[in-house]
Structure 1
Amino acid sequence: MNLVIVESPTKAKTIGKFLGKDYTVVSCYGHVRDLPKSKLGIDVEHEFEPQYVIPTRTRKTVTALKKEAAKSDTIILATDEDREGEAIAWHLMQALKLSGSDKKIERIVFHEITKSAIESALKSPRKLNDHMVDAQQARRVLDRLVGYKLSPFLWKKVAGGLSAGRVQSVAVRLIVDRETEIKNFKPKEYWTISANIGKQNDKEKDFEAQLFKIGNENLEKFSIENKESADKIVKKLETADYSVNEVEKKESSKNPLPPFITSTLQQEAAKRLRFSSKKTMVIAQQLYENGLITYMRTDSVNLSKESVESAKVWLTENLGEKYAIDTPRAFKAKSKLAQEAHEAIRPTNPGLSPENASVDNADGKKLYELIWQRFTASQMPQAKISSTTVTIEAMPKDKSEKKHFFKATGQAITFDGYLKVWPQKLEEREAPAVEKDEKLDLRSITPNQHMTEPPPRYSEATLIKTLEENGIGRPSTYAPTISTIQTRQYVIKEAGRFKPTEIGELVNKVLTEHFPDIVDIGFTARMEDELDDIAEGESGWQTIIGSFYKPFEKQLEEKYAEVSKDDFVKETTDEVCEKCGKPMAVKLGRFGKFLACTGFPDCKNTKRLEGSGTNKTAPRKTGVKCPTCSEGEIVERRVSRGRARGKIFWGCSRYPECKYASWERPEGVPEPEKNEEKEEPKEEE
């Protein structure tokens, strides 16, 4: 009998369908061993040896797996193909005491859960990859050392209940730094000049053009600084003679984007579907375990020969030969560690279009469609675009003045190519129907005032992109990191963008001032590279941990002696305790600042400090009458404290007289406002 062990019941069920009666497929429900919760669990004096335990929640599972293993001749470890999966397989070996047993132990990996992939994997088992196990173990130990050692420092010196993490602290720093940029931003004025121009004796085909050049000098953003300068130019050009200086036509091509890797899937799902990174990965996991897509934690853009051939067949049969390409398009991975044997995220059956795929829920259908579209588009022809640029010369009446030049453009898609499957915003504009040297008439000329804008707050998409670009984290860490910093209430989402809370800003201040390496982008990126080196067998994991821990431990010891809680909060107030008459003082808790009686512990009176905690905004009116009292109006509010802090709910404007409240958006109420996505990550060419 052969025992196949995988991580989840769904995965076990899907694989079980492909194997015969000689195989039993069971789930281990993820990691069966972990570091203890009640202590550090790492012997820092002896090579950082982890002291793993079998948690209470997994004991029944381990007992059941041991019974199944005892009945089997061959144990096949079929956990995921990444470092986490390799570590789970290694922990199974230890927990089930398989090393040195008379059982035949095999490790198999596959990129997709299909009959052919499973059969192929069973024919080519391999040994456990110790280097991958070491890399995962190093990450776990490193994160435990930082969290377990630094969090108590924050409890003692700042406030109870706080925590620090190696990658999460860098993510919070990015968000805090961006907020500081926004607060310190000073808008700067600049002007542009646009003209409405038309053909002589034909007012039906007027078009707009922008001033871009005066004499031989191209205008920069701040070339026209104020209204006075703009008005001078306008006055000169109101009576100028206009003619076509040049008509330039150009044909160009636009390439499709690579198929998804983990980070780009999370970014695109956030932009197009408004999914959080956590939601995206949960749904992608379901699609993978049900055999619909390949493995969803990857940084490889490679595609199998069979998949691109299958895509070509579907395109030829459904869209026609002109939408298929003869030579499969290959892409180059950005990550130095992306393995050629791994694949991008794609449908396991490229011929299974979204409308024909059996997906249980609406969100799953949306994500499958996104993955299918991106993959299919990657194997389609370029889009062909025809562009026209018209340069218009304006010659002032005063011939001593310089010529001014305006530009008008037009663009048309001559062949949609991959855009037929992967919709992208590509504005088509009719080109001005004019010829070189043709005389034109000025209809109107307008000076336009602009003000520079602060950088936008991070969305999930832009934060993941920034983390990836800076080498922070890996495919498996983006979603948990973003989820953690919200759960810890260091940041909240406001109109789809991340905003630091007061406590998030304070923790960042403490770490930045006293443990700069922990929140240093370059340092954290180098640590990620060193973890990659461990996975490649180029470095020993204990050596890497030791080089980090020794200076960190010394620094921590110094800071315990050096830093006082009063360094962060020591504010007296004129407020008097209404219970005992003693002065109230500002204290710091895990949700921000609050007022507490100085008579503590005899008097335990506390009060909320107005303006503290999450930056409050006025309730947003909806114009919908309250269904409970019919007098008030439903307003959109945010929870100001507790675990749901920052979450939107709807209540009555007459609160506390009317207690109506709902987590679900009431009928007739518009969706919560979202910021304009004016600086989302641009898709690569």
Structure 2
Amino acid sequence: MKLLIIESAGKVDTIKKYLGKDWEVFATGGHIRDLPEKSLGVDIKNGFEPKYENREDKLNTINRLKEKAKKADEIYIATDPDREGEAIGWHVATILGLDMSKKNRVEFNSITKEVILSEIAKPRCLDKDMFDAQQARRVLDRLVGYKISPILCKKIANRLSAGRVQSVALKLVVDREREILNFVPEEYWSLGAKLQKENLKPKFKANLNTITNKKIKLNNKGMMDRVLNHLKDGDWLVKSVKKTVSKSHAPAPFTTSSMQQDAINKLGMSLKQVTACAQELYEGVELGKDGKIALVTYIRTDSVRVSDEARINAKKYIIEKFGSDYYPAKPNVYKSKGENVQDAHEAIRPAHFEISPESVKQYLSPSNYKLYKLIYERFFASQMAEATYNSVVAEIECNDCQFKVTGKTPKFPGYTAIYQDYKKQDEEEQTEAKLPELTVGDRLNLLELLPEQKFTKPLPRYTESTLIKAMEENGIGRPATYTPTITILSTRKYVEKEGKSLKPTQLGFDVTDLLQKYFSPIINVDFTAVMEDKLDQIATKKEDWHNIISSFYDMFLPQLKVANGDSSSFVEKEAPVVSDVVCDKCGAMMVIKNGKFGKFLACPNYPKCKNIKKLQEKSKVVSKCPKCGKNVLEKISKKGKLYYACEDYTDCKFISWDLPLDEKCPQCDCHLVQHETKNNIIKHCSNESCDYKQIIKKQVQNTETKSASNAVSGENYD
């Protein structure tokens, strides 16, 4: 009897079916040997040697494994094809007393009959260097977590944890939240022109691009009004028309992170859902009379590489289904992003090209079906020809103001015949309009000018999808660690979800601030990325793992001594000052607390209520918000300009450069606003279509704009 040892019980039946009755397949269920739970388990004085022990919860598994090994004539180890899998395999071999020089290690990139039989026929030795890389990672994480976590518990609260990767991911979320809290919106205006050629359809919108062929930012209503006045009675002429064929290249096949991001964005799945569904598709799904069949290849990969065999089979499928025009003249070859890509495995793709999503829909859960369809379509799209478009860019001029409009119509669908790229709904992209046939010199009819006041926005909070992207781009963690890292941030109550967004809790702020106070050299993006590179160097024989850990500990130990020697509590213990701000979530009076970056407001009912706000010191209440009825506060922009915003700006969004008054317009019942010039106080309606105005302290001042360039120069404008 031959024994094959794997990790996941979900793959046992699938693999056994392909190997036949002479084989026994046994699953370890993950790690069976690890560092002890209740002690450091690292001999610092003896070269940081780890003190492994058999896991208590796996003692029964180990005993069963030993019994099966005694009866086996041959033993093969087929744990997952990555660093963790190599370590699990090494520990299995150690427990069973196997000869490490014997070739008994096999790797399955996908659970298909062809792959399994092929790999069983060409085993290799267990990779000591890859095991050492995992061992270094485990020791490093144990030192960081075991040494820092008690400091968090002592200075903040019990049952807290820190981690080399998780704490850096948390810092990304906290830093982004602080950027949002400290962001001051700035006003700007855009201008569109609704145009028509003679009486021909379609009507279209062109946007102001330049004035006297110069890019000029319209910062306020006064500048916009002068441009509008300058455009009165002008001729709208087509100055240039540029026609091109634009191309859209097919996207690369999925890596772990790109699959997770696309599934979250397109399918509305959570990160945990995506991970669970992908695991099921990889391990195998019951497909009626065909039994359990794996539908996708290995799901933890940072590579976009595709095997020659898969590429050849994809070519046949594409030509048969779509035609030869849909296959590129040269096969698409993609380069993996980032310096730390291991590239040991293929990209994620269908394991069986002949099994279409529709053919197995009846056997799959809705989530599994949607994810399989996404993986299936993305892979074949990655091998297809580019999409092409007939693009038109027209420049239209009126009185030295240049407007631009872009039109695009499909010419050849290419890969878009099967797959559409994801675009955020709120992306502010140039509108691609349907245009009539335009020729240089054409005179157009102006139907309407469309001025729009806008305000700059802070970067949005991270979502699970964008945090994965940020982690990947910054070299934080590996494909296998994205899900557990983000999950533990929620489990530890360091972040919470608001809709799809990740918002740090007060606890998350406190933990991050403490770690930055004492451990900023190691809890940062750069160090984490460098360490990932060091682990890769260990796996490729370029570095010795003992030296890497020793160098780290030499830097880490002084930081530990400072943190342990500081007896002060990081979180203030004195009674906090009660503010006059009511918590809009629970009604309690918010308290003023001190953080590393200054004072802020927090709800006293934490952790039951986790509301926090930026403390607006010296903010004067000027009126009631016309949108929500809360207070309107006087604020100062980054450039020192006075403006007014609702105290609940995050949700209400009311903002004004003119002072809002608690008065209604006698003509239209909208609220009045007020601004001052050198000699006048002017009250006017906030509704731009209403002409109500009241001038106090009469003034005579009338300056007309004579050219487009000085129309926006700010001259003679209060």
TM > 0.5 fold call = yes
Query: Against the structure 1 CA distance between its residues 40 and 230, is the aligned structure 2 distance closer, same or farther, given a 3 Å change threshold?
Result: same
Q: Distance in 2 between matches of 1:245 and 1:569?
A: 70
- TM-superposed CA distance for 1:72, in Å, is 1.1
Counterpart of 1:317 in structure 2 is 320
Counterpart of 1:671 in structure 2 is none
Counterpart of 2:227 in structure 1 is 233
Query: Against the structure 1 CA distance between its residues 424 and 191, is the aligned structure 2 distance closer, same or farther, given a 3 Å change threshold?
Result: same
2:236 to 242, 250, 267: 242
Counterpart of 1:62 in structure 2 is 62
Letter in structure 2 aligned against 1:271: N
Which secondary structure does the structure 2 equivalent of 1:45 belong to? Answer: helix
- TM-superposed CA distance for 1:360, in Å, is 3.1
Contact 1:230 1:447 in 2 (8 A): yes
Q: Distance in 1 between matches of 2:421 and 2:244?
A: 21
Q: Distance in 1 between matches of 2:416 and 2:334?
A: 18
Deviations 1:275-317 (A, max 9, x none): 2333222221111111211111111111112212222222222
Q: Distance in 1 between matches of 2:160 and 2:185?
A: 36
Deviations 1:23-80 (A, max 9, x none): 1111111111111111111111111111111122111111111111111121100111
Deviations 1:136-188 (A, max 9, x none): 11111111111111011111122111111111111111111111011101000
Counterpart of 1:393 in structure 2 is 397
Deviations 1:106-157 (A, max 9, x none): 1111211111101111111100111110111111111111111101111112
Q: Distance in 2 between matches of 1:555 and 1:206?
A: 66
Q: Distance in 2 between matches of 1:547 and 1:425?
A: 44
Q: Distance in 2 between matches of 1:125 and 1:28?
A: 20
1:407 to 404, 407, 424: 404
Counterpart of 2:271 in structure 1 is 277
Counterpart of 2:305 in structure 1 is 302
Q: Distance in 2 between matches of 1:205 and 1:301?
A: 43
Q: Distance in 1 between matches of 2:28 and 2:437?
A: 69
Counterpart of 2:556 in structure 1 is 552
Q: Distance in 1 between matches of 2:469 and 2:178?
A: 20
- TM-superposed CA distance for 1:266, in Å, is 1.1
Counterpart of 2:296 in structure 1 is 293
Contact 1:254 1:382 in 2 (8 A): yes
Counterpart of 2:438 in structure 1 is 434
Deviations 1:476-533 (A, max 9, x none): 1111100111111100011101000011101111111111123211111111111111
Letter in structure 2 aligned against 1:424: D
Q: Is residue 342 from structure 1 mapped to residue 339 from structure 2 by the alignment?
A: no
- TM-superposed CA distance for 1:566, in Å, is 5.9
Contact 1:238 1:445 in 2 (8 A): no
Contact 2:154 2:569 in 1 (8 A): yes
- TM-superposed CA distance for 1:543, in Å, is 1.0
Counterpart of 2:116 in structure 1 is 118
Contact 2:202 2:434 in 1 (8 A): no
Letter in structure 2 aligned against 1:2: K
Counterpart of 1:593 in structure 2 is none
- TM-superposed CA distance for 1:324, in Å, is 2.8
Which secondary structure does the structure 2 equivalent of 1:192 belong to? Answer: strand
Which secondary structure does the structure 2 equivalent of 1:79 belong to? Answer: coil
Alignment of 1:577-596 (within 5 A): none
Which secondary structure does the structure 1 equivalent of 2:465 belong to? Answer: helix
Which secondary structure does the structure 2 equivalent of 1:449 belong to? Answer: strand
- TM-superposed CA distance for 1:609, in Å, is 2.7
Query: Against the structure 1 CA distance between its residues 118 and 204, is the aligned structure 2 distance closer, same or farther, given a 3 Å change threshold?
Result: closer
Counterpart of 2:525 in structure 1 is 521
Which secondary structure does the structure 2 equivalent of 1:243 belong to? Answer: strand
Q: Distance in 1 between matches of 2:76 and 2:557?
A: 41
Query: Against the structure 1 CA distance between its residues 84 and 416, is the aligned structure 2 distance closer, same or farther, given a 3 Å change threshold?
Result: same
Letter in structure 1 aligned against 2:406: T
Query: Against the structure 1 CA distance between its residues 532 and 613, is the aligned structure 2 distance closer, same or farther, given a 3 Å change threshold?
Result: farther
Query: Against the structure 1 CA distance between its residues 38 and 369, is the aligned structure 2 distance closer, same or farther, given a 3 Å change threshold?
Result: same
- TM-superposed CA distance for 1:425, in Å, is 5.9
- TM-superposed CA distance for 1:553, in Å, is 2.1
- TM-superposed CA distance for 1:572, in Å, is 5.7
Counterpart of 1:252 in structure 2 is 246
- TM-superposed CA distance for 1:98, in Å, is 2.1
Contact 1:310 1:351 in 2 (8 A): no
Q: Is residue 169 from structure 1 mapped to residue 172 from structure 2 by the alignment?
A: no
Cα RMSD for the two superposed structures: 2.3
Counterpart of 1:360 in structure 2 is 364
Contact 1:31 1:88 in 2 (8 A): yes
Counterpart of 1:106 in structure 2 is 104
Which secondary structure does the structure 2 equivalent of 1:450 belong to? Answer: strand
Q: Distance in 1 between matches of 2:457 and 2:121?
A: 59
- TM-superposed CA distance for 1:424, in Å, is 3.1
- TM-superposed CA distance for 1:615, in Å, is 3.4
Where structure 1 has 5 or more consecutive residues not aligned to the other structure, the ranges are 396-402, 576-584, 589-607, 618-685
Normalised by the length of structure 2, the TM-score is 0.77
Q: Is residue 510 from structure 1 mapped to residue 514 from structure 2 by the alignment?
A: yes
Counterpart of 2:474 in structure 1 is 470
Contact 1:503 1:613 in 2 (8 A): no
Contact 2:204 2:433 in 1 (8 A): no
Contact 1:502 1:613 in 2 (8 A): no
Contact 1:271 1:461 in 2 (8 A): yes
Q: Distance in 2 between matches of 1:218 and 1:47?
A: 63
Which secondary structure does the structure 2 equivalent of 1:371 belong to? Answer: helix
Letter in structure 2 aligned against 1:138: A
Normalised by the length of structure 1, the TM-score is 0.81
Which secondary structure does the structure 1 equivalent of 2:421 belong to? Answer: coil
Contact 1:75 1:105 in 2 (8 A): no
1:610 to 605, 611, 617: 605
Deviations 1:359-416 (A, max 9, x none): 5311111111111111000111110111111111213xxxxxxx11111221111111
Counterpart of 1:6 in structure 2 is 6
| Matched residues, number | 576
Deviations 1:166-214 (A, max 9, x none): 11111111111111011101000011111122223x1644321111111
